[in-house]
């Protein structure tokens, strides 16, 4: 199909654990293992899961910002890498593609260089990619700021002069400066206050519609993901446990982890009746994940097969995939 913009196949990322004076590798943290999905043009795909489940690593590996350990990613017909076939995109071609794929980071305090003014932050990419000359790029930066509902005069100011919400708008303007077709939002509103979250979320929604962006939206906030995304993938310890259209996922969660996750959301009103599934214990360490189904140590439905065989993601209704032996 030609409207598929991104195809991820069997993506894995391991981080070596090094010890001793010779930094010998003593093991691996399996941050992401065998993740496959594809995105249609214009779609908003949500990656949810708890901290350490590998959602940010997935986003960054797809963007080729981290070296993958296995798998392949095809973006817009260009193969970025295919570890099994030992192929990796040529750096000049990658530079061209960088314009197409941009990222908005979580922490608006750490992701803007405090010594650059806002104009330089936003126009840097445009100048580097030869899209505009410096003066034109600054004009364009003003337009982008206005697009993100910030005064154009902000280009002369520095990041510390802005609040968290305003900085995140600057981060968004920077991501949009190269006119990308695909953006990864890595928890873009997690660090903001509730009322500011709503502002930035509305802005993102408008921009995505206006510029017909394809968006990979990484978040731990189920309420935000339900509202914002068309399709959702739930991750646990580096793998997908369930993937479905947003409405189907919230209406008929099939994986025991998804069910527990959704039931853990606080009540919306004091009178709401909610049966909570309280999970026992903590997430196991990704350096030493459990055998078989990675969730079996905390699962209330576990059976013998769960600790022996890793369940594969299979379709239980059109577009709704679950990795569970029992679902």
Contact residues for another protein, defined by CB under 8 A: 50-51, 163, 165, 193-199, 201-202, 205, 220, 222-224, 226-228, 246-247, 260-261, 263-272, 276, 278-279, 281-282
CB of 199 to another protein, least distance (A): 5
Q: Which is nearer to another protein, 102 or 166 (CB)?
A: 166
Q: Least CB distance from residue 110 to another protein, whole Å?
A: 17
Nearer to another protein, 127 or 201 (CB): 201
Strand 320-322 with 4-19, pairing: unpaired
Q: Which is nearer to another protein, 26 or 198 (CB)?
A: 198
Closest distance to another protein from the beta carbon of 98 (Å): 31
Residue 213: closest CA among 242, 188, 250, 249? 188
Min separation Cβ 258 and another protein, Å: 11
The minimum distance between CB 266 and another protein, in angstroms, equals 3
Sign of CA dihedral 39, 7, 256, 298: negative
Nearer to another protein, 70 or 196 (CB): 196
What is the chain's Cα-based Rg? 21
Minimal distance, residue 159 CB to another protein, in Å? 16
Nearest distance in Å: CB 63, another protein: 25
Contact 262, 253 (CB under 8 A): yes
What's the closest the beta carbon of residue 78 comes to another protein, in angstroms?
32
Rounded least distance, CB 152 to another protein, Å: 18
The residue (of 82 and 197) whose beta carbon lies closer to another protein is 197
| Closer residue to another protein (CB): 72 or 246 | 246
Q: Of the two residues 40 and 88, which places its CB atom closer to another protein in the complex?
A: 40
Q: Residues for the chain: how many in total?
A: 327
Residue (205 or 307) nearer to another protein, CB: 205
Nearer to another protein, 63 or 191 (CB): 191
**H/E/C letters for each residue in the chain?**
CCCEEEEEEEEEEEEEEEECCCCEEEEEEEEEEEEEEEEECCCEEEEECCCCCCHHHHHHHHCCCCCCCEEEEEECCEEEEECCCCEECCHHHHHHHHCCEEEECCCCCCCCCCCCCHHHHHHHHHHHCCCCCHHHHHHHHHHHHHHCCCCHHHHHCCHHHCCHHHHHHHHHHHHHCCCCCEEEEECCCCCCCHHHHHHHHHHHHHHHHHCCCEEEEEECCHHHHHHHCCEEEEEECCEEEEEEEHHHHHHCCCCHHHHHHHHHCCCCCCCCCCCCCCCCCCCCCCCCCCCCCCCCCCCCCCCHHHHHCCCCCEEEECCEEECCCCC
């Amino acid at each position: 199909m030609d409207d598929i913009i991104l195809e991820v196949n069997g993506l894995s990322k391991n981080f070596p654990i090094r010890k001793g004076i010779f930094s010998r590798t003593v093991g691996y943290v399996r941050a992401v293992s065998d993740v496959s999905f594809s995105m249609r043009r214009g779609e908003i795909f949500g990656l949810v899961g708890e901290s350490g489940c590998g959602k940010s690593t997935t986003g960054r590996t797809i963007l080729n910002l981290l070296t993958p350990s296995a798998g392949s990613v095809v973006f817009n017909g260009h193969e970025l890498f295919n570890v099994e076939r030992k192929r990796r995109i040529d750096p000049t071609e990658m530079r061209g593609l960088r314009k197409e794929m941009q990222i908005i980071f979580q922490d608006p305090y750490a992701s803007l260089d405090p010594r650059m003014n806002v104009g330089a932050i936003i126009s840097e990419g445009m100048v580097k990619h030869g899209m505009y000359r410096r003066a034109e790029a600054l004009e364009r930066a003003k337009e982008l700021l206005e697009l993100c509902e910030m005064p154009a005069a902000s280009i002369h100011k520095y990041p510390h002069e802005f609040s968290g919400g305003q900085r995140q708008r600057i981060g968004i303007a920077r991501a949009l400066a190269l006119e990308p077709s695909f953006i990864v939002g890595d928890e873009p509103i997690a660090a903001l206050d509730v009322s500011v979250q709503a502002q930035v979320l509305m802005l993102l929604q408008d921009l995505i519609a206006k510029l017909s962006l394809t968006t990979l939206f990484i978040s731990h906030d189920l309420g935000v993901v339900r509202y914002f995304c068309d399709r959702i993938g739930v991750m646990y310890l580096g793998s997908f446990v369930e993937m479905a259209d947003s409405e189907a996922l919230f209406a008929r969660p099939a994986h025991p982890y998804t069910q527990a996750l959704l039931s853990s959301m606080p009540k919306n009103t004091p009178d709401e009746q909610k049966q909570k599934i309280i999970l026992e214990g903590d997430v196991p360490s990704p350096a030493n994940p459990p055998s078989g189904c990675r969730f079996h140590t905390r699962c209330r439905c576990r059976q013998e097969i769960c600790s022996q065989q890793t369940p594969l993601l299979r379709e239980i209704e059109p577009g709704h995939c679950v990795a569970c032996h029992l679902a």
